[in-house]
Chain A
Amino acid sequence: MQISYSSAKVLATAMQTKKVSAEEVCQSYLDKIHGYGRELNAFIEASDKAIERARFLDQQKEKTGSLWGVPVAVKDNFCVRGMKTTAASNILRNFIAPYTAHCVARLESEGAVVIGKTNMDEFGMGSSNENSIFGPCKNPWDTTRVSGGSSGGSAVAVAAQMAPLALGSDTGGSVRQPASFCGVVGLKPTYGSISRYGLIAFASSLDQAGVFASNVDDAALALDIMIDKDPRDSTNIPRSLGSLRNVAKASAKGLRIGVPRDFMERSLDPILKKQIDVLVAKLKDQGSIIETIELPHSSHAIPVYYIVAACEASSNLSRYDGVRFGLRKTPDNTKDTLNLSELYRMTRSEGFGEEVKRRILLGTFALSADSYESFYKKASQVRRLIADDFKSVFADCDFIIGPVTTGGAFSIGEKIKDPVSMYDNDIFTTPASLAGLPCMSLPLGFDAQSMPLGVQIMAPSFCDDQMISFAKLVEELCAFSGRQDAR
């Protein structure tokens, strides 16, 4: 059978019914990772245990898991026991996780095979996957361009057929934006749905695991498996959703769809704007009610996001001090009693990259006694207003539809020297993150340079199931085609 381009669902069934062995499937993906995958730099490490596990699965008589034998690429900020888990940071370059993240364990419990750990922006801080100690991850549609970030490696893994499914994390758009740049489905569920236990924290109140897939059904299946109550994460909210596995495609008729005026009036790539307009027109033709909506406070989303996230990051990253795990740097002259502040200074100076340091400094400043009120507290208040805007919109709308980015993937090196223009990339993704909403990026079309473009849909909190049913409709209307084997 053809392994590439098969959905995770189809693959699992094929392996369960022994049409193909898990080992063959695993080997086929590993070959790509080790072959053309090298140039793409999507993987930090391919698993050396994946084949072993695939063989083990082949030997089982009962093959009941719904992801039986399906290779899954895991972003390198999820702990996988016995595997290096680096968050693409020098400070964790040699850190081997002693336990497995909850969501990874869930996927494994359904028969998934962790095929490797994917490249990312260090600790999730970045929108281009250029802030990685392992170097940038490249866009398979044009390797001079960025994959997007921070979950760039996972997006590329799915886009270039190096894994049918990939795990990512989304703090301010880290699943949706690279999905859009790489032409795959990227889904971030409602904040609190998937346990964060084992996900290396960047900004705790925003971090949420998400999934990349080549189609909505596969993403929904992975989500269904991962949403599960975990007492180890206090922010994990008990599941209220029904099964997401066979959600029916929504009917456009009568759907109330909001299109944010602000978003559409930004300096969007005209091709992107046009394609969204076409999609909206199709929905309207089929009976949806289209409304132009206002999200007045979303214009503040970028500064609010960068204050809240930096504050939480400055605190979350305090644990990397060279004492218990990860990198430790001490002065060469160790005759004298070790000076503690020297240990901290040297370890953290060498351990963290520029962008991480920038955000730690920003966050430390914003939380200091003199600036707390005007920065962290103010940002938290505006965050509430942003969430309230969505609440009032969702009183009249079922879904919001809009762009993920202002255009297609930019070139490697184009924005890395200009942090603010890089931050601006997150303009359309941070509002839903700050409000904790479920949201997705779906492949929409291509720009003038033949780079993929995505469309974003957002739904009210805990309406992930409805979002998925709507996504199936949008997926069908977009009829995105053109698949990409890396060159």
Chain B
Amino acid sequence: MLDKYDVVIGLEIHAQMITESKCFSAAAANFGDSPNQNVSFVCAGYPGTLPSLNKEVVKKAVKTSLALNCELQKVSYFARKQYFYPDMPKGYQISQYKEPVARGGCVTFYLNGEKKEVALERAHIEEDAGKSTHFGQYTLIDLNRAGTPLLEIVSRPEMSSPQEAAAYAKAVRQILRYNAVCDGNLEEGSLRCDCNISIKPKGQKKLGTKVEIKNINSFRFIEKALEYEILRQARSLELGELITQETRLYDATKNKTFSMRKKEEENDYRYFPDPDLMPLILDDDMILNARRSLVELPVDRLDRFVNEFGLSFQDAELLVGEKELADFFETISNKTQDPKLSCNWIVGEFLRLTHERQTSIEQRPIADDDFAELITLVIKKEISGKMAKDVFEEMWSSGSNPKDIIAQKGLSQITDQATLRELVLKVLGDHPGKVAEFRSGKDKLFGFFVGQVMKLSRGQANPEILNKILKECLK
């Protein structure tokens, strides 16, 4: 049934920008504080108060817009979007309507190893509403969030699958986090995602009726909600029903969407230019400074890791997932001058222990220099890879330097040929019978001799040199 339809998806992402104070007032934009602690007279919409735009918000919005390849608008305007709700103190939300701060733009990302590009419609600055908690017959209102700055990033309706939509949303989040403009926490709502979706018979030009899905708080739910919605819409069309233009809510526990309000029930927001605010005029210096503060895009970094460092796509994708991890990799790789081995160590042992010990990349207990030194010791064959893993664990728990651990535990490899020859001859002398069996053709016994020498050296014999000497002696 589904292959008869084209799917058209567009996303509206609301990103809470990281600033000290709110969008239009001096109150702190902190989270997790006790309710209504960060509320000024301006936030509460007291009579006589006026909004004044926080310059930091503009800087962050400009930086984000540049990172999203948008075309910045030198002059943009603030408008009032009007509706009554108890957690919206002024009875209107200050937003940008007809003239947003940025237009166009695009986001590039990989979907199943293939490069995709999604074009953007616009990005605009707006203030957030407060939070209502329904509590029996009461509704409790917390205005801490009221007036915190948001950047709404609107994609064009050009995604064609739930997977692509989720990958796009992840890519946007990654860009926001890389540039430290938003912490991107969907569960806590610092990043919110509304999905617009319509389906139409394959090949039909005219778009189908659009449905907006709200209340999605994870990337997995973006996929699930859209999958559910595609199926629901396709079934309706199969039954000859019309799709109604409406806003639906996603219920994650039931994995279903429910109608919240039909188009006719939508508010007339009565947008008009906010007479309390001047046009937002961007000056060239500010744009230049924002441009200078941009970091390499995650997708470019991924390509560079594959092309320059020869990492596998999977490894590179994993490393660029978080900026801190990618930065860590580059630091270690620079010190060891061996990107591949550094990558293996980070993707392998490092991440294993990070997960096991439930810590984060930033809270790693080992110094970068020590970690790089350990890898260098492996490269120089001064320690076997297997031993290095033990040393690494020890470093993690004690915080000591790898050389100290090796010396303390006597873990360094025996590479001296004379010492090894001595050990080999000792083992061969102890097992004359086995030597005879080997020489008469029982090749499998070679492993036995290796094992014995390793035992004798307490595992410190360098395996390659040992093999060479053992072969010579058994001839």
Contact = CB atoms under 8 A, between A and B. Distances in A.
Contacts of A368: 268, 270
A85 B47 contact: yes
A318 B91 CA distance: 5
Interface stretch (A39-47, A148-156, A320-328, A386-394): A320-328
B276 interface: yes
Contacts of A28: none
Contact of A311 (B47, B51, B141, B272): B272
B89 to A, nearest CB: 6
B82 interface: yes
Given A318-B84, A319-B47, A323-B141, A235 B276 contact: yes
Interface in B28-48: 41, 44-48
A234 B47 contact: no
B277 A95 contact: no
B278 interface: yes
A98 interface: yes
Contacts of A367: 82, 270-272
B45 A205 contact: no
Q: In this complex, which of B44, B49, B268, B271 has the most chain A Cβ atoms within 10 angstroms of its Cβ?
A: B49
B270 A340 contact: no
Nearest to B134: A337
B270 to A, nearest CB: 4
B206 to A, nearest CB: 24
A319 B89 contact: yes
Interface in A229-260: 231-235
Contact of A321 (B47, B80, B86, B272): B86
Interface residues of B, number: 30
B137 interface: yes
B110 interface: no
Interface string A96-122: 011101000000000000000000000
B96 to A, nearest CB: 15
Given A315-B80, A318-B91, A95 B47 contact: yes
A295 interface: no
A246 to B, nearest CB: 32
B52 A87 contact: no
A77 B48 CA distance: 8
Contacts of A344: 84
B427 interface: no
Contacts of A159: none
Contacts of A369: 268, 270
B91 A233 contact: no
B48 A97 contact: yes
B53 interface: yes
A197 B48 contact: yes
Q: In this complex, which of A196, A204, A321 has the most chain B Cβ atoms within 10 angstroms of its Cβ?
A: A321
Given A321-B91, A337-B137, A232 B84 contact: no
Given A233-B52, A338-B137, A92 B47 contact: yes
Contacts of A311: 272
Contacts of B44: 324-325
B85 to A, nearest CB: 8
A200 B52 contact: no
Main secondary structure of the interface of A (DSSP, over half): loop
Contacts of B45: 319, 324
Contact of A197 (B49, B80, B89, B277): B49
A226 B50 CA distance: 18
Nearest to B87: A323
Given A233-B52, A234-B51, A368-B268, A319 B91 contact: yes
Nearest to A98: B41
Contact of B275 (A312, A337, A338): A312
A233 B52 CA distance: 6
A33 B325 CA distance: 74
Contacts of B228: none
A315 B92 contact: yes
B53 A234 contact: yes
Contacts of A87: 47
Interface string B154-172: 0000000000000000000
What are the 4 A-B residue pairs with the smallest beta carbon separation, nearest first? A318-B91, A205-B275, A204-B275, A367-B270
Given A234-B52, A317-B91, A367-B82, 20 more contacts: A95-B47, A97-B47, A97-B48, A99-B48, A196-B50, A198-B49, A200-B47, A205-B275, A231-B52, A234-B276, A235-B276, A235-B277, A318-B84, A319-B45, A323-B141, A324-B89, A325-B44, A325-B47, A338-B137, A376-B272
Interface of A: 77-79, 85, 87, 92, 95, 97-99, 101, 196-201, 203-205, 231-235, 311-312, 314-315, 317-319, 321, 323-325, 336-338, 340, 344, 364, 367-369, 372, 376
Interface of B: 41, 44-53, 80, 82, 84, 86, 89-92, 137, 139, 141, 268, 270-272, 275-278
29 contacts: A79-B47, A98-B46, A99-B41, A196-B50, A197-B49, A199-B48, A200-B47, A200-B48, A201-B50, A203-B275, A204-B276, A234-B276, A235-B275, A235-B277, A312-B275, A315-B80, A315-B82, A315-B92, A315-B272, A318-B90, A319-B89, A319-B90, A323-B141, A324-B45, A325-B47, A338-B139, A364-B270, A372-B270, A376-B272
